[in-house]
Structures are given as structure tokens and as C-alpha cells.
Amino acid sequence: VVAVMRAGIERGTTPGGDPGAQAALCRDMAVPPAPAFLPQLVERTRFFDASVTTALALGFAQIVILGAGYDDRALRFRSPGVRYFEVDQPATQSDKAARLDALDPGDTGPELVPADFRTDDVAAALARAGHDRWKASLFVCEGLLVYLEAETIVMLLAQLKASAGDDSVLAASLAVHPDGVDSARAVAWANGRRRSGQTEPWRTILSRAGHAELLAASGWSIRDGSAAPWPTGREAGSSWLVTAEPIAGHPPPA
């Protein structure tokens, strides 16, 4: 649903990028519309597009998209010398791979890295795919972390921290509730209002402070919203759009 809706949003592209990539990847997808979600998705799309274009402008050569689904940024923001890695569950990836093949991106397509964040070592999977942990990377978690249990989020983000060369950045959307609300009740309430609350439940909705604690436990510190040039701290409905940087010296030596 997100990818199909994103295909209708006006967006930028790089000089060598494919402005029609999102529509092409979603070819033949029939999904129920969700117009109420559109303003939030527009804001979210702008945030992650800006995160990628900022990374490109700063000379990053590695963009890693976690839970990529039908994300088109590897094609839309294609740039010479820049490698995109997309990590997702094998079942989702095999359908994405077929759709990518039909677009024939040749050598310029993303590196597909199959992994289940609940069980797999993402740092090792990325390394096998040719990701260089000593170089700066932008790690993108769009619409993903809400689907994972808190312990899986900590495990995943700690593995990203272990793969993060100097100056790396994490861009993430985080599902938030107001302070003073019980997080388990917020999750139950939110799933009760969703079409797919039973089949694909949301699992982690926290206060802003709760998310900041979770990120800190994984070695990431949320950037101050005024810290140029990265966009951070923006709101999109109940999503908090943040960028974070690796905490130096985390984890402490054993």
C-alpha cells in the first residue's frame, strides 16, 4: 500500500536516477486505498528522500535500506560509485528481485541481502554482500521498527552500529505515543484500528524518551533537530522521523 501510494507522490531524482522506478516496481499491484494516510506518507517520503540526497551530497558511497520492501530509492537516486544494499525477508525479496529483473537495472541495481532481523546476524550478512564497515553508511529504517519487538530492534541496531564506519548516520521512523501512556495499551489500541492488526501487528510504540533509550542501548544517539545538514526530529502523524549518529566507544570494551 505504501509503495503504491508513494508512486503517486511528486519527488526528486538524481541525474542518472529513474523517476518512474516506484510506479514500475508496483506494476500490477492491486491494493485498497488509504487516503487518510497520504499526508503522513508525503512527510515521511520527503524525510527519507532528503536523508538519501543529503548522504549523496556528503559523498557517502553506501546506502543500506533495512526492511526495504518495494522502496525505489536505489533506482530513483542511482549515483555513480554509490552502492545500495537492501535487507529484507527472503519471501519479500524474491518478489522484489523479479520486479527488479523486469526493469533490467544491470550492475546499477541494489544488492539484495536476505535476512530475518529476529534471528540473523545482519552485520555478517552485509559483510558477505560486500558492505564495507570501515566506510560511512546511511542506514534507512522506514516503516520498519514498529513491526519488531524491542529486543529485536536493539539487536538489529547494535549490528548496524557494528557495521557503521565513522560519520555513519541512521534515519528511522519511530511510532510514538504521548508521555504517560502505557506502551502495551497503545500497541493494542493501534492494532485494533488497523486492517492488518492481526496478520502484521505493530509491536513497538513508545514515548520519545523510550525510543531514545532503546537507540542509546544499541549505540545510537538521536541528533539535535538543529544539527545541519541532516533532517531530524520531524513529525508525521504518530511517526517521529529522526536521524541518529553512532555513540563513540559503544559498547564499552569487555
Ligand X SMILES: C[S@@+](CC[C@H](N)C(=O)[O-])C[C@H]1O[C@@H](n2cnc3c(N)ncnc32)[C@H](O)[C@@H]1O
| Cβ contact 133:64 at 8 Å | no
Least Å from the CB of residue 170 to ligand X: 14
Residue closer to ligand X by CB (options 75, 254) is: 75
Rule CB under 6 A: is residue 72 a binding residue for ligand X? no
Question: What is the CB-side half-sphere exposure of residue 177 using CA atoms within 13 A?
Answer: 16
Stretch that binds ligand X, among 31-39, 73-81, 116-124, 209-217 (CB under 6 A): 116-124
Least Å from the CB of residue 253 to ligand X: 30
Rule CB under 6 A: is residue 69 a binding residue for ligand X? yes
The kind and range of the H/E element at 169 are strand 169-175
Is the bond into 229 cis (omega within 30 degrees of 0)?
yes
Cell readout for 113 is 541481502
Q: What is the DSSP secondary structure assignment for residue 89, as one 8-state letter?
A: -
Least Å from the CB of residue 141 to ligand X: 8
Cell readout for 26 is 508496483
Number of residues this chain uses to bind ligand X (CB under 6 A):
18
Stretch that binds ligand X, among 100-108, 141-149, 178-186, 235-243 (CB under 6 A): 141-149
Rule CB under 6 A: is residue 114 a binding residue for ligand X? no
Least Å from the CB of residue 119 to ligand X: 8
The kind and range of the H/E element at 243 are strand 239-246
- The residue from 5, 88, 172, 222 that contacts ligand X (CB under 6 A) is 88
Stretch that binds ligand X, among 13-21, 143-151, 206-214, 241-249 (CB under 6 A): 143-151
Rule CB under 6 A: is residue 147 a binding residue for ligand X? yes
Least Å from the CB of residue 28 to ligand X: 17
- The residue from 24, 38, 42, 92 that contacts ligand X (CB under 6 A) is 92
Q: Do β-strands 83-88 and 220-222 pair in parallel, antiparallel, or remain unpaired?
A: unpaired
Rule CB under 6 A: is residue 117 a binding residue for ligand X? yes
Q: Which amino acid is at 73?
A: R
Q: At residue 122, what are phi and psi to the nearest 5 degrees?
A: -70, -35
Q: How far is residue 40's CA from residue 176's CA, in Å, rounded to a whole number?
A: 14
Q: How far is residue 91's CA from residue 89's CA, in Å, rounded to a whole number?
A: 6
Cell readout for 236 is 508525521
Rule CB under 6 A: is residue 118 a binding residue for ligand X? yes
Q: How far is residue 209's CA from residue 12's CA, in Å, rounded to a whole number?
A: 33
Residues at the contact surface with ligand X, assessed by CB under 6 A: 2-3, 67-71, 88-89, 92, 115-118, 142-144, 147
